[in-house]
Amino acid sequence: QIEGGDLSLIFIDVDNFKIFNDVHGHQNGDILLRELSGLMQESVRKKDSVARWGGEEFVVMCPHTPEHTAERLAEELRRTVAEHAFSGAESQPNKRITISAGVATYSKHRSKRALVQAADGALYEAKGKGRNVVCIASEPTSA
């Protein structure tokens, strides 16, 4: 049990980031990631934390946040990024930078490891659904 309410995680991946890097170079790719990070920081609530997870992946920790609220926040982030005029976006599919996101909540997954795996799995489900999508982690299966 998380003290003081539920904890939700949002895993985020920049869609087709390799294409951006190949066209614009790694320095511009790094500039894009910093701009994206700043945009997400401005878009989340004060109690939420945005961090780079690795490569072009980010995580948003949402304390005291039920799953449906985290899903709504992830959808707002997805929309904000897709509507933002990033430099170099014309090289991307659909001429814009987009993200995919996976949402998982501690009360459903019951351990830190399961929570991270669930958010990661939901992210990969979103990528598999064509990108620029938010997915919620499915219910854990009982052993």
Which positions are annotated as active-site residues? 56
Q: In angstroms, rounded to a whole number, what is the distance separating the alpha carbons of residues 124 and 128?
A: 6
Q: In angstroms, rounded to a whole number, what is the distance separating the alpha carbons of residues 28 and 36?
A: 12
Residue 140 DSSP class: P
Rg (CA), the chain: 15
Q: Are 128 and 20 in contact (CB under 8 A)?
A: no
Residues whose CB is less than 8 angstroms from the CB of residue 53 and which lie 6 or more positions away in sequence, other chains included: 11, 59
Q: In angstroms, rounded to a whole number, what is the distance separating the alpha carbons of residues 39 and 114?
A: 28
Q: Are 135 and 101 in contact (CB under 8 A)?
A: yes
